Amino acid sequence: MKKSILIIIAIVFSSVFAKAQYDAMFTQYMFNEMYINPGYTGSKEAMAVNLLHRQQWVNFPGRPVTTTFSLHGPLMNNKMGVGLSVLSEKIGKLNRNLVYLNYAYRIKAGKTGQLSFGLMGGIHNQVNKLSELKATESGDIQVSQNTPSLMAPNFGFGIYYYTKKLYAGISIPRMIDDSYMFNNTGDIIKSNKFKADKFHYYFTLGYMYEISEALKIKPQAMVKMVQNAPLQYDVNVNCLIKNMIWAGVGYRSGSDVSVILGVQVNPQFLVSYSYDYGLTEIQKYAQGSHEIALGYLFSYKQRKVVTPRYF
């Protein structure tokens, strides 16, 4: 049956993102590393809480809207780390939720370094709310009801190395490919398989340069790789001014340029905002992407966090 252009766009839009952007995208990934690398879990000296909300392509119909929350901390004199990560995302009529538990084990690497091995496992749920679409012909059964709720387990692993000024990581955060597909007759096919060719590989690297007591500069990069897809990289440079103001710029390959502004309210509390300006045709119909991040680092009882952590 014929359907409106809106329906076709919605299905294609959802299908593209279900395959090509399986992992949610963040400009301020440096404040949300546990989502992409379980080895990061518990790497700070105390319990850490992060909340991040992203509005992508504002005013574009069916744009991605993503919220993620993470909680993690060290155990056993910082030898281990445990954490919880939750993500909720809506793209067009696709709604998905992820809940993961993380575990990391650390060993000393050199005089000042720590090498952490992490595992993550959890549940991924998604549903396409096709009943909210409007067809040009009444009684179209293909859009009269939502797709079945897809509930599937998932897992990943990562390795994370860090010192007081340097960090580097490699990870595959999700190893199960779970999605819906539409065949030639319009029927829904549910897929939930372990596919090595769909793995998303993440490589991260960053360093903090102390120029003076009033100025620190932190360049960092993230590279994302998946088979049969172009290499994507994010590079940015953030400056910390008088240990209070964060200001930076970034570039996502062939996609966006961004600015980041943040306030280090105190050594424990960070508020940060970023704006992305699109370099693709979508920018003609949208107003960029907005993202806000909140981070808080707790103290344990009478213990104070002595060493500032900038990543």
The reported pLDDT for the residue numbered 11 is 39
User: Residue 14's pLDDT band (boundaries 50, 70, 90)?
Assistant: very low
pLDDT digits (tens, 9 = 90+) for 178-204: 776 666 666 667 777 788 888 899 999
The reported pLDDT for the residue numbered 4 is 38
pLDDT digits (tens, 9 = 90+) for 247-262: 999 999 989 999 999 9
The reported pLDDT for the residue numbered 157 is 96
Where do the domains of the chain lie, and which CATH numbers do they carry?
5-297 (2.40.160.40)
- Return the beta strands (E) in the chain as ranges: 48-55, 65-75, 80-91, 94-109, 113-128, 150-162, 166-172, 176-182, 188-194, 201-207, 209-212, 215-225, 232-241, 245-252, 256-266, 269-278, 289-297
The reported pLDDT for the residue numbered 6 is 39
Q: Report the mean per-residue pLDDT for the chain.
A: 84
Average pLDDT over every residue of 53-67: 92
Q: Is the pTM of this model over 0.75?
A: yes
The reported pLDDT for the residue numbered 228 is 82
User: Residue 133's pLDDT band (boundaries 50, 70, 90)?
Assistant: low
State how far the alpha carbon of 177 is from the alpha carbons of 22, 99, 155, 167, 181, in Å: 9, 16, 11, 29, 12
Residue 59 burial (C-beta neighbours within 10 Å; 0-12, 13-18, 19+): exposed
Q: Considering only 20-24, 119-123, 174-178, 262-266, which range has the smallest mean pLDDT?
A: 20-24
Average pLDDT over every residue of 8-30: 57
Residue 108 burial (C-beta neighbours within 10 Å; 0-12, 13-18, 19+): exposed
Please, what's the largest Cα pairwise distance for the chain? 70
**Residue 150 reports pLDDT greater than 70:** yes
**DSSP secondary structure letters along 188-241:** EEEEEEE-GGGPPEEEEEEE-EEEETTEEEEEEEEEEE-TTS--EEEEEEEEEE
The reported pLDDT for the residue numbered 26 is 93
Residues pairing with 240 in the sheet: 216, 246
Phi, psi for 38 (deg, rounded to 5): -65, -15
**Residue 168 reports pLDDT greater than 80:** yes
% the chain with pLDDT above 70: 80
Give the closest residue to 242 by CA, choosing from 219, 222, 263, 271.
263
Task: Yes or no: say if 69 and 57 are a contact pair by the CB < 8 Å rule.
Answer: no
**Residue 21 reports pLDDT greater than 50:** no
Residues pairing with 165 in the sheet: none
Dihedral through CA 25, CA 30, CA 35, CA 40, nearest 10? 160
